[in-house]
Structure 1
Amino acid sequence: MLQPLVAVSTDVRQFENYTWHAAPQQYLEAAISGAGVFPVLVPSFGDRLDLDELLSSVDGVMLTGSKSNVHPSLYGGDASEANGPYDEARDATTLPLIRKAIERGVPLLAICRGIQEMNVALGGSLATEIQDRPGSLDHRAPASDRQDERFAIRQPVSIKPGSCLAGVFGAGDIMVNSVHRQAVERLSPKLQVEAVAEDGTVEAVSVKDARAFAVGVQWHPEYWVNSDSASATIFRAFGDAVRAHAGARLGARTAAE
């Protein structure tokens, strides 16, 4: 099968007197080499976009990580400068895209900011500066100028028995990286926990009774997709779900003809 199209979220950034809608290359590389799909960047124009038309044309959605955080006004949090930076144009695009993708059964993989967007889009809330909570590990990246050190695989997470990811990895622990200072606080009633860190921080979720693969992870599998087995496994599972959706769409279209 040809590479099916996957919609990829974008950040809005100001650079050299232009406004850019962009995604980091690591996610795009992982989509191509790890999932075997064709990533298509979705500009963050909110309700100016016909997301139903988009989801009729793609077979998956991938939400990238970002330096920005979901705006706290969307879940009743403190919209202070300390909890930023923010990207409200991205919020206005990804949150409705998440809801529509789930409703239509389009496979969804949400990474880092993406898992937080999933939780907020479906009625949950976020905790900020989690490293300051009593008993919490420091989930932020190690201080370094080298990206390989910042994204080093260093933290175990426990996969819940019987979960969606247990079907992907098997139950038990896998090793992941950790580059975040926010996390799920109040879990959306539409989500279930897939994996937790040693301190109980939610590290992965899935949509209850989802029609297709719909998973969010707090770590960064895109960074080591070509060298780490667990990172490769989740992208392969996402790619398989995308191809299954593409095949089902093709079959339905052929039957209608």
Structure 2
Amino acid sequence: MHQPLVAVSTDVKQFENYSWHATPRQYLEAAIAGSGVFPVLVPNFGDRLDLDQLLLSVDGVMITGSKSNVHPSLYGGDASEANGPYDHERDATTLPLIRKAIEHGVPLLAICRGIQEMNVALGGTLATEIQEREGALDHRAPVSDSQDERFAIRQPITIKPGSCLADVFGAGEIVVNSVHRQGVDRLGSNLQVEALASDGTVEAVSVKDARAFAVGVQWHPEYWVKSDNVSAQVFKAFGDAVRLHAAARSSLRDAAE
């Protein structure tokens, strides 16, 4: 089966006296099993990379979650040790990659840190330690040594009628996992809210009038893609959009020959 190429963001990690550019296996597994695509890791070298050329060569972009947070200086906030850790090299790569993917009309799926990067890339701001707000839910993972417990599906959210995700799930309530302590505050330009938690926390966004699928989700569909229908549908929708983009590019090439 043909597997279109999808560019996947990475984190910079220090390990065994090396600086690694890597991403957790779950995202790659979900891209292959859930979307039917070939994930290609993008190293974090900022403006040393020709991202326009990359986007002429791939049919999708996936921005992964991470333990690190977007540096507050990029949205007018104040950095602190409590808000960290940070990954400056990732920020310098993913934010322009997101903007250029939207500009090129390349399908985009942004997960957890990814939705926050998406919001900042388009001029929005982030709220930190959202569990401390009056009336807020605790969106952090349960304290546990078990990853299955930490990523348990436990939080209901509501998909807005008429949204992009309403075409995927239908409008109304779905249940997802929740593993975050910051989120969207002021919405970035040209973004619209797709889903909300019961405390008003933004759980998904999309780009208005996007040329292709361009969605960010605050939860982690990659973790349960093989066993949870909601998680699987996110990656199927992304994969379908990627294949549609690949087919359109192929038609253009054929017409030019």
TM-score range, shorter chain: over 0.9
Report how far residue 200 of structure 1 moved.
Answer: 0.4
2:153 aligned counterpart, secondary structure: coil
**What pairs with 1:177-216 in structure 2 (closer than 5 Å)?**
177-216=177-216
Quote the residue 1:40 is aligned against: 40
Q: Are residue 150 (structure 1) and residue 150 (structure 2) matched?
A: yes
C-alpha separation in 2, matches of 1:82 and 1:26? 27
Runs (5+) with no aligned partner, structure 1: none
Report how far residue 189 of structure 1 moved.
Answer: 2.3
Quote the residue 1:228 is aligned against: 228
**What pairs with 1:1-257 in structure 2 (closer than 5 Å)?**
2-257=2-257
Give the TM-score taking structure 1 as reference length. Answer: 0.99
Q: Deviations over 1:201-249 (max 9, x none)?
A: 0000000100000000000000000000000001000000000000000
C-alpha separation in 2, matches of 1:71 and 1:107? 25
C-alpha separation in 2, matches of 1:189 and 1:51? 22
C-alpha separation in 2, matches of 1:88 and 1:198? 33
Among all aligned residue pairs of Structure 1 and Structure 2, give the percentage whose two residues are the same amino acid. Answer: 83
Report how far residue 190 of structure 1 moved.
Answer: 1.1
C-alpha separation in 2, matches of 1:189 and 1:59? 24
C-alpha separation in 2, matches of 1:47 and 1:135? 42
Q: Deviations over 1:67-119 (max 9, x none)?
A: 00000000001111111100010000000000000001000000000000000
C-alpha separation in 1, matches of 2:128 and 2:84? 10
* Matched residues, number: 257
C-alpha separation in 1, matches of 2:149 and 2:82? 25
Instruction: Tell me the amino acid that sits aligned with residue 14 of structure 1.
Output: Q
Instruction: Tell me the amino acid that sits aligned with residue 217 of structure 1.
Output: V
Give the TM-score taking structure 2 as reference length. Answer: 0.99
1:180 aligned counterpart, secondary structure: coil
C-alpha separation in 2, matches of 1:188 and 1:63? 17
Report how far residue 31 of structure 1 moved.
Answer: 0.1
1:86 aligned counterpart, secondary structure: coil
C-alpha separation in 2, matches of 1:121 and 1:249? 26
2:136 aligned counterpart, secondary structure: coil
Runs (5+) with no aligned partner, structure 2: none
What stretches of structure 1 move > 6 A for 4+ residues in a row? none
Instruction: Tell me the amino acid that sits aligned with residue 127 of structure 1.
Output: A
**Cα RMSD (Å) of the superposition?**
0.5
C-alpha separation in 1, matches of 2:147 and 2:122? 32
Report how far residue 28 of structure 1 moved.
Answer: 0.2
Report how far residue 22 of structure 1 moved.
Answer: 0.2
C-alpha separation in 1, matches of 2:209 and 2:239? 20
2:166 aligned counterpart, secondary structure: helix
2:102 aligned counterpart, secondary structure: helix
C-alpha separation in 1, matches of 2:209 and 2:94? 21
